[in-house]
């Protein structure tokens, strides 16, 4: 994170969660915590507040709760543009996202 960086969405964790969701499109709390190098409790709290504010939408898939930027948010296009601009100086976040494995490993495939 850049020193002197402000938190336009009410907190550093909330802002970084939104930035990660912008880069990932959809994610679950543990993955977000891993990408952000943040405690899962803080990520869960940020997701709850963002969902209450209408910026994030969550859905349950089996035992997993997936989150994404709310496509029904009244200003979703400007929000996404703003988040895209905020991700430029976040090199560490973009690198963490690019290293993620997003599909399951084939059964029997060696590590």
Q: Look at 104 and 60; give whichever has higher pLDDT.
A: 60
CA-CA distance, 84 to 82, in Å (whole number)? 5
CA-CA distance, 8 to 72, in Å (whole number)? 20
What's the pTM value of the predicted model, to 2 decimals?
0.85
Q: In this structure, is residue 20 part of a structural domain?
A: yes
Q: In this structure, is residue 22 part of a structural domain?
A: yes
Number of domains composing the chain? 1
Give the distance from CA 102 to its chain's centroid.
14
**pLDDT tens digits along 47-94:** 999 999 999 999 999 999 999 999 999 999 999 999 999 998 899 999
Residue 18: strand, helix, or coil: helix
CATH of the domain at 51: 1.10.10.10
Tokens of 111: 């590590």
Q: In this structure, is residue 84 part of a structural domain?
A: yes
Q: In this structure, is residue 100 part of a structural domain?
A: no
Q: In this structure, is residue 7 part of a structural domain?
A: no
Q: In this structure, is residue 1 part of a structural domain?
A: no
Q: Domain residues for 83? A: 12-94
Q: In this structure, is residue 70 part of a structural domain?
A: yes
Residue 4: strand, helix, or coil: coil
């Amino acid at each position: 994170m850049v020193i002197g960086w402000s938190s336009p969405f009410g907190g550093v964790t909330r802002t970084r969660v939104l930035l990660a969701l912008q880069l990932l499109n959809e994610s679950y709390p543990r993955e977000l915590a891993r990408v952000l190098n943040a405690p899962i409790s803080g990520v869960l709290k940020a997701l709850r507040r963002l969902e209450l504010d209408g910026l994030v939408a969550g859905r349950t898939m089996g035992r997993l709760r997936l989150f994404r930027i709310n496509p029904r948010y009244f200003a979703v296009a400007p929000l996404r543009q703003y988040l895209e601009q905020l991700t430029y100086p976040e090199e560490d976040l973009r690198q963490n996202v690019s290293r993620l494995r997003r599909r399951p490993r084939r059964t029997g495939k060696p590590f």
